[in-house]
Amino acid sequence: MSFIQNKAEKYYAANSLDEKEPPLMKVSSKARYAVAALVDLACQPAHQPTTLAAIAKRQDISVSYLEQLFARLRAGGLINSVRGPGGGYILARSSQEITIADIYGAVFEPDVAPAAVPAVEGASLKAQMETLWHAIEREVARFLQSVTVHDVLSGKLANQRLPAE
């Protein structure tokens, strides 16, 4: 067994509950909180504004952190603010129209992605690694674009396995 295979098997064993399941990838706190906040908004009665304080309490997130996220979500066109007594925030579109990719796009500054390097036998390790990361990012983006806030609320993702292509 090669050194790389041994390392991969140890990582796989340490990060997987089931030998047939791949290890889980960690998602940033910013993404988790932004998705949780929009799912929370989607749970509220239609067109009834919700305050940041109410969301913060239900989701156990600080109001000041939510303020930062909501500024980005609002700039991204995902939420609207309602001023005055009884004001707060509402979804700008229906939960069926807002994808998790939309939320990520609103809260993260876009990275300037390097151009994909075609896999070529004998290519440098750096080029091979760039190809790997580009492929992973493309698959993650495809998945995030396929899941809506409504899908999360409806439980559609519970026990769902990713399709093999």
pLDDT tens sequence across 41-64: 999 987 789 999 999 999 999 999
Match 């295979």 to its residue by tokens. 5
pLDDT higher than 90, residue 3? no
Q: Taking the model in full, what pTM does it have?
A: 0.73
pLDDT tens sequence across 123-142: 688 888 888 888 898 999 99
CA separation (Å) from 161 to 53, 92, 98, 144? 36, 30, 22, 14
Sequence spans of domains, the chain: 27-154
Q: Which residues pair with 2 in a beta bridge?
A: none
Record the tokens describing residue 149, joined without a space.
Answer: 């806030």
Q: Are 143 and 162 in contact (CB under 8 A)?
A: yes
- 75 CB burial (10 A radius; 0-12, 13-18, 19+): exposed
Record the tokens describing residue 154, joined without a space.
Answer: 């409806």
- pLDDT-above-70 percentage for the chain: 71
pLDDT of residue 52: 96
pLDDT tens sequence across 73-120: 999 999 999 999 989 999 999 999 999 999 999 998 665 555 555 555
Closest by Cα among 42, 43, 103, 45 to 78: 103
pLDDT tens sequence across 18-36: 555 556 667 788 999 999 9
Q: How far apart are CA 127 and CA 107, in angstroms?
A: 29
What does the pLDDT average to over 146-158? 89
As a whole number, the mean pLDDT across the chain is: 81
Class in CATH terms, 27-154: mainly alpha
- What confidence tier does 165 reach under pLDDT thresholds 50, 70, 90? very low
